[in-house]
Structure 1
């Protein structure tokens, strides 16, 4: 497990100490509290704290008192209605705080979602560990020929091994130089805030990331999608499993309407209606761009 002894001791102490509370709790989320879920080769996700449950969403929507005034089936129907019609504020009543350990280049993608509170481990004050993300062989792929942001065929044999060797050697060499610049043996030693600039983007960083459920669902819709980069997608998939246990009714609606749903532009909806009416619609007659037509055909054939 990619945890330091201090972190393991902190988790053990936190899980061993129980306290009575009057606030609403989720039994599913309680089981995840402080548990470190491994991701990639040295990464992790663990829940530090949370607020709310499925009933909190319904309570906010109805502005009622206590743990809801309707049956569970009514709550599920209300949550599905809220999700289906893109209501957001009731889902903002639930929040979660994660501790995440991730490669720097993944963190730079992740931070693009500017709807969370983030506090990152500071390499100005502390020295980063010698831990780097090295892809598994089945994740080494060439540049896609149809998607400028994606991967194509896997690298194999000698070429794959050459790439892995370069990644390891460059990361280790950069860290050796990092340590050498920081060293005060026979020299003043470079300031940590400057020495860090030489570290590669695959070194691991850590942060606390706190987000409400509405914005977390938006993050997961984009990052758990099969089009997302693998390295951030595996974090999102781990979070999906946690959220499913936390708010099962809300997650079921999210899975149905967002992860499993399809959004159509006006032109795409019109093309689908024409197809259903028996017309043979082609790219040239669809009015869509080539990219949109390709995505339309991936879903509808």
Structure 2
């Protein structure tokens, strides 16, 4: 992980000067505030700011003031009810702002989630650092033969070494040319906004990313899933840990109903009822396509 001296000084100063506040505070989130959590080889996430906690969710759902006389158990039950019945608005009352350092190719996948506010480091105005994501050997995998978007077996021996050397050499060469094109030694050089186009997709960028809890849960449901690309999943996993400390009741409901639960189609539900009644249901009698049936059996662990 690469935190610059200036960033570390800012973190130390902010954490050294706590201030009293009347706003809702999550003790679990306070321990994460400003602190960088390492991800991949040079990346990190850190919480810059947040708003709300579990109580903010139930307060919004009840449209009342304060905690009132409701017990904690009632709050947890209400949060689980909201999650179970897809009531999203109360979860939108909580927000979090992350500072994220990530490879450009991960950022381009991440930005597909358009429900956040994003401000990215500008290579038009500043020069990017010589930092590239180079996968660990056990993350170098061949193309999957059954999934056009996935990975297959891990590369071994000479093939793995060959690929790693190419990744390192190409990244270094591209950055060398980037610096040469900028030509800051008395030559005119190329504009930064043009010189950056030669940089590889594994170079690191940074951004501030602010999102409400409902849409954060949607991001985590997709990107912390076992089928997500490893590199973005590493960031999602780190965010899961932070979110669990921030809103423990909401995260527990999210884990149960979204991460650990499944959604059945009307045909799938009908098949379950028929199976419980003792009928031997097959793909041919289910009314489902082969793909639907395969996914359905996967949900049932068959």
Alpha-carbon displacement from aligned partner over 1:8-59 (angstroms, at most 9, x marks no partner): 0110011001111010100000000011000000000000000000000010
Which residue of 2 is the match for residue 195 of structure 1? 195
Number of positions where the alignment pairs a residue of Structure 1 with one of Structure 2: 301
Q: How does 1:74-93 map to 2 (within 5 A)?
A: 74-93=74-93
Deviation at 1:68, TM superposition (A): 4.3
Kindly indicate whether residue 84 of structure 2 is the aligned counterpart of residue 95 of structure 1.
no
SS of residue matched to 1:9:
helix
Which residue of 2 is the match for residue 177 of structure 1? 177
Alpha-carbon displacement from aligned partner over 1:36-86 (angstroms, at most 9, x marks no partner): 000000000000000000000010000111234411010000000000000
8 A Cα contact 1:25 1:52, kept in partner = yes
TM-score by length of 2: 0.97
SS of residue matched to 2:205:
strand
Deviation at 1:284, TM superposition (A): 2.8
Which residue of 2 is the match for residue 62 of structure 1? 62
Which residue of 2 is the match for residue 4 of structure 1? 4
Which residue of 2 is the match for residue 223 of structure 1? 223
SS of residue matched to 1:123:
coil
8 A Cα contact 1:102 1:204, kept in partner = yes
The 10-residue stretch of structure 1 (63-72 or 123-132) with the greater mean CA deviation from structure 2: 63-72
Q: Can you give the 5+ residue segments of structure 1 that lack an aligned partner in the other structure? A: none
**2: CA distance between counterparts of 1:151 and 1:135?**
14
Deviation at 1:279, TM superposition (A): 2.5
Which residue of 2 is the match for residue 234 of structure 1? 234
Which residue of 2 is the match for residue 261 of structure 1? 261
Which residue of 2 is the match for residue 290 of structure 1? 290
Kindly indicate whether residue 37 of structure 2 is the aligned counterpart of residue 37 of structure 1.
yes
Deviation at 1:186, TM superposition (A): 5.0
SS of residue matched to 1:23:
coil
**2: CA distance between counterparts of 1:68 and 1:87?**
22
8 A Cα contact 1:56 1:67, kept in partner = no
Deviation at 1:287, TM superposition (A): 2.4
Deviation at 1:270, TM superposition (A): 2.0
User: Structure 1 pair 101/31, CA: closer, same or farther in 2 (3 Å)?
Assistant: same
Q: How does 1:19-34 map to 2 (within 5 A)?
A: 19-34=19-34
User: Structure 1 pair 215/207, CA: closer, same or farther in 2 (3 Å)?
Assistant: same
Q: Can you give the 5+ residue segments of structure 2 that lack an aligned partner in the other structure? A: none
